[in-house]
Chains A and B, each alone.
Chain A
Amino acid sequence: MKMPSTGVVSEVVIAIVLLSLSIAGVRRLRDQIGTLESWRVQVVAVDSYLPSRSPLFATLGGITSGGTGAAMLTRPPGTRYFVAFIAHAASFRGDVALWTGVQQALAPRGDVRLVGYCDHPGCEGDPAAGAKHPPFAVIAYTDYRTARVLLHADADRQALVLDGDLAALGSVGWSERSRPSELATAIARLM
């Protein structure tokens, strides 16, 4: 019987060594894919603002700009719905004016409370923002989870419509060009 050449033997040995070394790599890759999948599921669930029957987060509350006081730590009497949105520091004056219009349009219902969140702790107190004192709470410091959900919604330019237990009824898209009456109608449709 003819013996295989040294080259063949070397190639087979190298291939076997490489394959055996890659076993650990395959196991590590499998673990990493498992970790990735579990994180993906968690992260999507944590930041999701899709309609649900359970509360999106534990609180809408927080501290107003400049630490002047707490807001929305308890549900205001008579409130059945909340609308939560981010008033952007860069367009704070316009955003507040728009949502003030929405507040006025929804006021006859008497059961809706608007809650604004500032995306920068100084935006409400910044003289450059020049907004009048808004007719709704503007929160600058809130719960991390609440902040993440609001930021996720805001990245999609959405405001959240919630029931009294903070379960999401849906969301409405808005921009600086939105009309308060149309926004109020879209919000009321979700209630």
Chain B
Amino acid sequence: MSLARRLSTGALVATAVFEIALLIATGVVRRRIARYGIEIGATLPSVTGYPLHYRSSFFAAADGCVIYRVVSGSCAACRLEEPLWRRATWAGAGAGCEIVLLTPDLEAAPYPAPSLVPQIQWVPLDWARSVRLAMTPTTIATVNRQIVWAYQGELDPGHFAALERRLEQWPGK
């Protein structure tokens, strides 16, 4: 075998090994991100709880389509995406989805939002155990308690379109 042939074969093999290592590393990192982040397909029980002023009624989300918005009164990005939410009429009765606001700690409450949208402050411990919320804003869409879409960070119109597409596949719509 000529030197050129040996070199080219060696380069090809090295490249293939590199690609395989890259694929494995990407897979491992993705799995770890899912561990720290929110895993699509995981089960998230419907939230129950109380608003900040607990004398308001006890709240229990329905089992169908629920969109959780994890927000904070001090989160500028949350307020920036607010006009998009107000325009996103599909997220309401049209798509049959219930929107629930969650303020993850007392310092995050209250969040300025339309009063018709339930805002939950006090959650049961077993619900808190079921999801790891690392930042605000975080948006999680569940259908029959299964996470079908999630995004951590400020949403833009592209994200809304992706969420809309995902929820259009919901057979219960």
Contacts and interface: CB of A to CB of B under 8 A. Distances in A.
A12 to B, nearest CB: 5
Contacts of A143: 104-106, 121-123
Main secondary structure, interface of A, reads helix
Contact of A15 (B8, B25, B107): B8
Contacts of B135: 42
Interface residues of A, number: 50
Q: Range of interface residues on chain B?
A: 35 or more
Contact of A39 (B14, B36, B106): B36
Nearest to A40: B36
Given A11-B11, A18-B19, A39-B134, A151 B125 contact: yes
Contact of B8 (A8, A86, A148): A8
Interface of B: 2, 4-5, 8-9, 11-12, 14-16, 18-19, 22-23, 25-26, 29-30, 32-33, 36-37, 48-50, 54, 58, 102, 104-107, 121-126, 128-129, 132-135
12 contacts: A8-B4, A8-B5, A22-B19, A29-B29, A42-B134, A42-B135, A117-B125, A119-B129, A121-B126, A142-B125, A147-B123, A151-B128
